[in-house]
């Protein structure tokens, strides 16, 4: 049975004023809260056990999702008593399997979560990051100069491609060895430590849809694009 941990303990400060009454993962997208969209996707992808890592307004999550019976899976809760960032909450969950999925509770994507975890397991990877392709366009003509300030090249409004973390990770239990107890420990701490120690971290680029619903304009875009995405996801 596939296992997932959904990080839902943030304060949602970037999405105010929407999040004054509701935590960000419970904001509605069409007929569902964002987090229910994720749970329905995970169920469809073969996940049978989901742990919600909660803190802020934890009782609201428990009241809405209960034990997961409504969606045909098991939902339980890990309660933070202090802010532990993105990776720190994993240290509070005693029964994690050898490999599992970890993801933010406020993203909208068409990632095939089951296949993503399966590939990670098949490779027995330590830590795998789902990455979205983005690009930054420079609105100026860019000059390339030599050390003595002679022009050696020119680009008119160049575009630079890059990859960003989507907030979706496939994780080995071995990761828990480097996570401290009762201390905030984020994705940045984890990957910078692995880079320093020359540990292998896999990246899987995703060419499909991804939206991090962190700001009011992102949330409004999600609402507008949901009717088309919902057809693709076919969660009803």
Q: pLDDT tens digits for the chain (236 residues)? A: 899 999 997 654 444 444 445 788 898 988 899 999 999 999 999 999 999 999 878 889 999 999 999 999 999 999 998 889 999 999 999 999 999 999 999 999 999 999 999 999 999 999 999 999 999 999 999 999 999 999 999 999 999 999 999 999 999 999 999 999 999 999 999 999 999 999 999 999 999 999 988 778 888 898 899 999 898 898 86
| pLDDT of 13 | 47
Dihedral sign of CA atoms 61, 65, 67, 68 in order: negative
Q: Which residues contact 155 (CB under 8 A, 6 or more apart)?
A: 138, 141, 142, 144
**Residues 235/37, Cβ–Cβ less than 8 Å:** yes
| pLDDT of 21 | 58
Rounded CA-CA distance 191/15 in Å is 27
| pLDDT of 11 | 54
| pLDDT of 19 | 46
| pLDDT of 17 | 46
| pLDDT of 51 | 97
In the chain, what are the domains? 2-132+162-233 (3.90.550.10)
What does residue 166 show for φ and ψ, rounded to 5 degrees? -90, -5
**Closest Cα to residue 109, out of 214, 206, 215, 221?**
206
| pLDDT of 10 | 64
Rounded CA-CA distance 5/124 in Å is 19
Q: Name the one residue in this structure whose structure tokens are 């509701």.
A: 22
Q: Which residues contact 196 (CB under 8 A, 6 or more apart)?
A: none
CB atoms within 10 A of CB 27: 20
- 3-state per-residue secondary structure call for 156-203: ECCEEEEEEEEEEEEEEHHHHHHCCCCCCCCHHHHHHHHHHCCCCCEE
Structure tokens of 182?
A: 């009762």
**DSSP state string for 2-38:** EEEEEEE----GGGTTGGGTS-GGGSEETTEEHHHHH
| pLDDT of 22 | 77
Rounded CA-CA distance 235/32 in Å is 10
Q: Model's pTM, two decimal places? A: 0.90
Rounded CA-CA distance 19/25 in Å is 9
């Amino acid at each position: 049975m596939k296992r997932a941990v959904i990080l839902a303990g943030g304060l949602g400060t970037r999405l105010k004023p929407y999040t004054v009454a509701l935590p960000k993962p419970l904001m509605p997208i069409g007929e569902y809260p964002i987090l229910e969209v994720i749970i329905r996707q995970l169920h469809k992808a073969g996940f049978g056990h989901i742990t919600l890592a909660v803190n802020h307004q934890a009782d609201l999550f428990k009241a809405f999702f209960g034990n997961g019976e409504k969606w045909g899976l098991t939902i339980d809760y890990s309660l933070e008593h202090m802010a532990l960032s993105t990776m720190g909450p994993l240290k509070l969950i005693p029964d994690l399997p050898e490999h599992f999925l970890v993801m933010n509770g406020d993203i909208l994507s068409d990632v095939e979560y089951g296949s993503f975890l399966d590939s990670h397991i098949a490779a027995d990877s330590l830590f795998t990051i789902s990455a979205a392709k983005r690009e930054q366009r420079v609105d100026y003509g860019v000059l390339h100069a030599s050390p003595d300030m002679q022009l050696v090249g020119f680009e008119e409004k160049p575009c630079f491609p890059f990859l960003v973390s989507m907030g979706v990770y496939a994780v080995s239990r071995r990761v828990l060895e480097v996570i401290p107890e009762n201390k905030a420990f984020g994705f940045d701490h984890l990957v910078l430590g692995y880079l320093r120690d020359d540990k292998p971290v896999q990246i899987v680029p995703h060419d499909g849809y991804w939206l991090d619903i962190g700001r009011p304009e992102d949330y409004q875009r999600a609402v507008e694009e949901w009717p088309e995405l919902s057809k693709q996801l076919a969660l009803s």
